[in-house]
Amino acid sequence: MVAVVTGASRGLGRAIAKEYAGEGASVVICARSQSPTGLDGTLEETAADIRNAGGDVLAVDCDVTDETQVDAMVRRALDRYGKIDVLFNNAGAMVLGESILEIDPARWDQVMRVNANGPYLCSRAVLPAMMEQGRGSIINIGSRMATDPGLGGGVLYSASKAAVHMFSLCLADEVRDYNIAVNILSPGSLRSEGSAAIPWTQRDWHERVDPSAVGPCAVYLALQDAGTFTGRLALRAEFGTTWGPGTDK
């Protein structure tokens, strides 16, 4: 299996890349060469973790909002491995606690480009290879804040994730005949570098889970196709109960 994981320099992206590699997949990881957030973690560190554990990894600097960079990253993946089985669209930006008057148009555009345009560009780039091989799985990171305005996502973050949800559901129908699964994975509250930088997350820090807890969900979704599991919003907290192994769903 060959899996592409975006936003893999830290947090959930790093955890999923390591999980896939641990399961024997060849992993293509990408992220921006310099994070505008200044958070700890680099693509090279993720790659080193995977190689030190005996895994196969290709690390590519890539801004998922740049079509040229995305296309180049996918070409490198195909040149090296000849196929792409899984796309895990993890790269994202979070804006919480800001009102519409505090969010200027440039910031709105930036977050929408990362959260909504990124999955579009990456999916569009990998789909020809998946269509040709007649199978694939695309996993987009969603959020409960996309469907519940009471959770505090705000006008920008919640709107961007709602766009990801609808994009995923419509794309699942569009590529069903090519046996490609498209699903939304809502990981829930995580103890990641990004969430640690948000002051109010300290109130429920003890209830949050390490990003590695999402690994089994991501592996299960990676193994699906259009005939088994597609067009679904999968909540990590419900894995093994409403969906996943042993549920027949």
Catalytic sites, residue numbers: 157
By three-state DSSP, how is residue 37 classified?
coil
**Residue pair 130/178 in contact by the 8 Å Cβ criterion:** yes
Q: Strand order of the sheet with strand 136-141?
A: 56-61, 26-31, 2-6, 86-89, 136-141, 180-186, 233-235
For the record, the structure tokens of 42 come out as 């680099």
DSSP H or E stretch at residue 111: helix 105-112
Sign for the pseudo-dihedral over CA of 229, 231, 236, 241: negative
Under a CB-based contact definition with an 8 Å cutoff, are residues 209 and 75 in contact?
no
Distance CA(195)–CA(186), nearest Å, equals 15
- Output DSSP code: residue 239: B
